[in-house]
Structure 1
Amino acid sequence: MRFLIIIPAHNEEHNLPFTLDSLQQQSFKDFKAVIVNDGSTDRTAEVVSKYTNQDLRFETVNLQKSLHQPGSKVVHAFKKGLETQDLNSFGIICKFDSDVIFPEDYLEKVEETFRNNPKYGLVGGLLYIEKNGSWVYEGNSNKHHVRGPVKAYRKECFVQMKGIRETLGWDNIDAILLQNLGWKEVVIPELHVLLIKVKGADYTIKPAEYYGKYFYFLGLNRFLAYIASGKEAMKSKSVSFFFKIINSYENCRRSQLELKISEDERKVINRQRWEMLKRKWLKM
């Protein structure tokens, strides 16, 4: 199964070489990598050219900097890279970040997992960050969810779910939609991917405004959004944090900001979240 790897990059001259080097060193060689230079003002274009000039598996697309609603910029760049390729030539579609280092057997293990499991639609490893001189599990999500920087989709699954959405929350929406279509999301825990941009920082803590917008663009109804806001406020041990999230969510509702999911897809997402809530929190 041949890989198509799309890597959006904006001002990544220092990190991108680590990512591209780790791809060149893969034991599985059958891939094409398209680096989408999203309006970089540093030497990102020069870095990319060093790879495209010496390795035909690497290509580049140059864009003006994307300006879109929160969370959509990276997906917009990804789609621009995707438009340059014929999907029929590939079996696996990847959205990778430009600041990660893959183990040498990453593509090999992902390809083997897809080939041996026809119902697997989304596969990836686990992210690790540097903290106090050691690489530790990032912990920004549960260990059964494939994170945004390392997404690998079976081509048939990707097409059936109509790709990924240009919106905040896209990397959770995809998992819900593909599961509703009968595909499985699978993490390979022994595949450790190093996230090199944020060293020693706890970036799992986000501002209240972010969560409000995230719950809105995820398509959550008011009840589920309030429940989710309460969970985040409990983590922060702050009542005011809850009300700030709600205020952000309600501002989005009042503004009637455009959702990138259909009404049917929104129903699927809310149903899945409700079932998860009943299992995890209400023990039903």
Structure 2
Amino acid sequence: MNEYVLLTAARNEEDFIEKPLRAVVSQTVKPKRWIIVNDGSVDRTAEIVRRFAAKEPFIELIDTSGDSNRNFGSKARAINFAYERTGNIDFDFVGNLDADVSFDPTYYEEVLSRFAENPRLGIAGGIRYDRVEGRYIRVKSAQNSVGGPFQMFRRECFEKIGGYLPLQYGGIDAVAEISARMHGWQVRCFPELRIFHYRMTGSATSGRVGVKFKAGIKEYLIGYHPVFQMLRAASSLTAKPAVFGSMAWICGYYWAFLKRFKRPVSNDFVRYLRSEQLRRIRSALPGLETRFTAGNRVSPISQTSMRQ
């Protein structure tokens, strides 16, 4: 069996939602079911989805009242709610699909073929291209990371990690793929598969500097190593908004630290993530190994330790 389902959380996406709708109905291998949660929209989102669903029986629209405030936690809850509706469906793979992306007609056929080639592949996807000032800019991505707007999971992997963890400031995709790697699954992006993303991540609720500040908060909550965080911010000094974006990024991280925000992930998770990040630092900057490795060894994890 090589069946898949798609899950989408959509709120006030009338400007974009036709793009994924047209992309999915054009696929050479269509999903067995596509559950779209209309998460409290007050625009024409539901109307547009219903128009497509009338012609494509695999599309199912669910209307919910949604959270009063738009955030990444509400998205995770909507996706998990949609997944609960798949209980009577036989499938092998499940994809999260944002309501503001598009891709080629063979995209899912290609992703499924990558899964077929590697039984340890738990999460797969392509490379994101963001639309910025009329141009598509390729978003840098590590080979073992897949963008949240289009993560495709092997079903066993998705259920092993417990779905998406609701996080107000984002990072639900990062936590999912880190959790997958902790449990022995491989995560791979395939640069030959392109995803076109029509809105900067987080820009539905914030300007660019605000996006960076919230990214800093998110990365503190997930457990990013402070050295890794500083190096990432320094490497983006020339990116728009120049200087101010990097400053906001660092300020968000240390503001969350000073406010003693409680992390929603386990200590095991933080240790595992930081061990990965320190390996990346050492590979890029030889000689740092002895300086930053103390206290960051990885401990064995249990099935129940993920969300303490």
Q: TM-score range by the shorter chain?
A: 0.7 to 0.9
CA contact (8 A) 1:125 1:192 kept: yes
1:156-176 deviations in Å (ceiling 9; x for gaps): 111112222212222222222
Q: Aligned partners of 1:193 and 1:243: how far apart in 2?
A: 29
Which of 178, 182, 185 is 1:183 aligned to?
185
Specify which structure has the bigger relative contact order, considering alpha-carbon pairs within 8 angstroms and separated by 6 or more residues. Answer: 1
Distance 1:266 1:143, change over 3 A: closer
Q: Aligned partners of 1:87 and 1:120: how far apart in 2?
A: 25
Aligned to 1:165: 165
Q: Aligned partners of 1:204 and 1:231: how far apart in 2?
A: 20
Aligned to 2:300: none
Which of 249, 259, 275 is 1:271 aligned to?
275
Shift of 1:83: 2.1
Distance 1:144 1:266, change over 3 A: closer
CA contact (8 A) 1:87 1:155 kept: no
RMSD: 2.9
Distance 1:206 1:146, change over 3 A: farther
| Percent identical | 23
Aligned to 2:129: 128
CA contact (8 A) 2:144 2:186 kept: no
Amino acid corresponding to residue 155 of structure 1 in structure 2: R
Aligned to 2:154: 154
Q: Aligned partners of 1:276 and 1:13: how far apart in 2?
A: 40
CA contact (8 A) 1:146 1:187 kept: yes
Distance 1:68 1:225, change over 3 A: farther
Q: Aligned partners of 1:256 and 1:87: how far apart in 2?
A: 43
Amino acid corresponding to residue 159 of structure 1 in structure 2: E
More displaced stretch, 203-212 vs 31-40? 203-212
CA contact (8 A) 1:124 1:186 kept: yes
Q: TM-score, normalised by structure 2?
A: 0.79
Which of 213, 218, 223 is 1:219 aligned to?
223
Distance 1:94 1:206, change over 3 A: farther
What are structure 2's unaligned runs of at least 5 residues?
290-308
What are structure 1's unaligned runs of at least 5 residues?
none
Aligned to 1:261: 265
Amino acid corresponding to residue 282 of structure 1 in structure 2: P
Amino acid corresponding to residue 174 of structure 1 in structure 2: A
1:169-223 deviations in Å (ceiling 9; x for gaps): 222222222122221111222221222345xx9x996545223302212123xxx
Shift of 1:39: 1.0
1:5 aligns with 2:6: yes
**DSSP 3-state at the match of 2:151:** strand
How many corresponding residue pairs?
Answer: 277
**DSSP 3-state at the match of 1:260:** coil
